Chain A
Amino acid sequence: MENITILCVDDQAEVLDAVVRDLRPLQKFFRVEEAGSAEEAKKIIDETVRAGDYVGLVISDHVMPGETGVELLGAIFRDDRLADTKKILLTGQANHADTIRAINEARIDNYFEKPWKPEDLVATTKKLLTRFILKKGIDYKDYMPILDQSTLLENLRGA
């Protein structure tokens, strides 16, 4: 089993706690990391990559002191080491222009509006990480209980 990190980024501690709590069912299979800012997030990403581990998914808020979430996700999109890393923008305060930039410049995989439904967030997280695992060629058997069924079946059809 590989070390795959889910990185949650938000400047509000209570929001961060809520996201991490929602993702608790996945903690047996993934390492869930928290960052209070884009800068801190980048540091965690660097450490993870340097340790030879995977950053599978980044869930980021948009409006934060310093660098914004869209800027952080854009930097991840441009980073070759993170080419397959999945990205979710989780925000209530992104305006029209921010949203366009999130799609064009950060190629986010999903957009969640606050407040979000925990089951939706978990389902989307599973789906995106299933794609990540299959794309990376990581042995999927270890992750069987939390993989997204239809994504897995569709992928194995060509096996």
Chain B
Amino acid sequence: MTKVKALKALIALALAAGCLFLPYESLGLALNAVEIRVIAIFVLAALFWILEPFPIWTTSMFVIVLMLLTVSDKGLMLSWGGETFFSFQADPASGEKYANLVSSKGLMATFADPIIMLFLGGFFLAAAATKYKLDMNLARFLLKPFGKNPKFVLLGLMAITALFSMFMSNTATAAMMLAILAPVLSLFDENDKGRAAFALAIPIAANVGGMGTPIGTPPNAIALKALSDMDATVSFGTWMAFGVPYVIILILLAWALLLWMFPISKKTMELNVGGEFLKTPKAIIVYITFAVTVLLWVLGKDIVGIDSNIVAMIPMAVFALSQVITKKDLNGMSWDVLWLVAGGFALGVGLQKTGLAEHLIGAIPFASWPAFGLMVGAGVICLFMANFMSHTATASLLVPIIAVVGVNVGSSLDVLGGVIALLVSVAFASSLGMSLPISTPPNALAHATGLVDTKGMAKTGVIIGVLGMVLTYAMMILLASLGVFKPLPTSEEAAAAPAQETAVVAPAATVSAPVQK
């Protein structure tokens, strides 16, 4: 660990500790110690994710452990000879156990959340596709119709990158496509601006493509999780129904932008992707399983009866039994990403289950906020943050907070698609942060090729980010007018119908049914 990183960690810890001693009451917030600890953990996570003294997934893991120790019903408690002299579970003044401790099982369960399983299923599909060269062969097959005119090859590359990153990780897709592209770009004239167009096209398409399906990128998972906790599920098929057209439009716009900013001088080019489709029994299992899984996802619960999270587990069983995925492949999966997401879920659980969310709602008059301003404001903050830090971490921090605000803004948000549109647009904004090499791993990979400078990346990144946000809001308003997103029951309706209450004010209710009281 370098000195700079140690310093960053110390600053973050000091600021987070400082949050324990803020005068909340004078701010109109009557919080107990447990809620204040959640605030401090939230701030710590935010600072760790922004300053990155540690890899981001380690922060997530730390968040879960810290919450288990300090705000859970099984938290740290030191006793000797039957006498407790220190406890995170009880109020030191009265000695009584706090009523708003978080279920430890619920915190641990964030790592086995159905949406984590959805992602794990996606990892199985991606790993199998890579292992049996389905990705490379499909890339070769799909690139053919785009011919040899560099302009259309560029479009082809963007389309394929976007398509793949809907099912594979954005990083893996970008790495694969850059590997295909690198030898061809070395044949370009050094002064050909087109080289930058190609190098930029890959990360842009990878980032944009991830927005197309629920499993495309982790911010989608964070939004889906918050939505499912308030019983506002967006099915895989519904997400794709708006996500895919959105991706297509944004890719076309980005393509035009790249051609305009970096005109390609070279008249003809040819991408050589070797190999042919494997026809071994295992490869065929991969093809069929992949197709069936996607089909089941698209058909959805109304037709096949199983939800997308369970569908995602079918390829897991098939690939394990058929040994398409071996123990080594299993161990080699991106468990860090799953921990990263689980930590984000845990923050949401802490916010909801301690009652902190409710207290914030009580103290801040969200209902009087202008709905459109809220939606755009949330998007702008999110887009800004996502340019400087991990997309997943951005969503992890903002989604739980914005979910609280969203459900309490009331019916004025309905014309814009309600809280569903709000959270989907936040997830989209997280994916649109792509103006710097540090914004996303695909950007870093493209920048490392040396074919694109930071300035070019910043220009295209900002333009596509803003364009993408405008397109998101236009789409949300359109979807709302079509009645795609059903509004949640409002606070008043919920108060009238007590059965609904938990679903509205305590979105995390489904995750952590308290086992011990």
Contact = CB atoms under 8 A, between A and B. Distances in A.
A14 to B, nearest CB: 33
Interface string A1-36: 100000000000000000000000000000000000
Interface in B171-194: 171-172, 175-176, 178-179, 182
Contacts of B172: 156-159
A149 interface: yes
Nearest to A1: B2
Interface string B131-156: 10001000000000000000000000
B448 A156 contact: no
B228 interface: no
Nearest to B4: A1
Nearest to B2: A1
Contact of B130 (A147, A149, A157): A157
B182 A159 contact: no
A80 interface: no
Interface in A117-159: 139, 141, 144-145, 147, 149-150, 152-159
Contact of A153 (B55, B127, B175, B334): B175
Given A152-B445, A159-B169, A139 B55 contact: yes
Given A1-B2, A149-B182, A150-B182, A156 B444 contact: no
B449 interface: yes
Nearest to B444: A144
Nearest to A158: B130
Contacts of A156: 171-172, 175, 441, 445
Interface residues of A, number: 16
A153 B178 contact: yes
Point out which of A141, A149, A155, A156 has the most chain B C-beta atoms below 10 A from its C-beta.
A156
Contacts of B130: 157-158
B332 interface: yes
Interface residues of B, number: 21
Nearest to A142: B2
Nearest to A141: B444
Contact of B448 (A139, A147, A154, A159): A147
Interface in A85-110: none
Contacts of B182: 149-150, 153
A48 to B, nearest CB: 17
A108 to B, nearest CB: 26
Contacts of B175: 152-157, 159
A155 B176 CA distance: 9
A12 to B, nearest CB: 35
A144 B448 contact: yes
Interface string B433-461: 00000000100110011000000000000
Given A141-B444, A152-B175, A153-B445, 15 more contacts: A145-B448, A149-B182, A152-B445, A153-B176, A153-B178, A153-B182, A155-B175, A156-B171, A156-B441, A156-B445, A157-B130, A157-B135, A157-B175, A158-B127, A159-B334
26 contacts: A1-B2, A144-B448, A147-B448, A149-B178, A149-B182, A149-B448, A150-B182, A152-B175, A153-B175, A153-B179, A153-B182, A153-B445, A154-B179, A156-B171, A156-B441, A156-B445, A157-B130, A157-B172, A157-B179, A158-B127, A158-B130, A158-B172, A158-B332, A159-B169, A159-B172, A159-B175
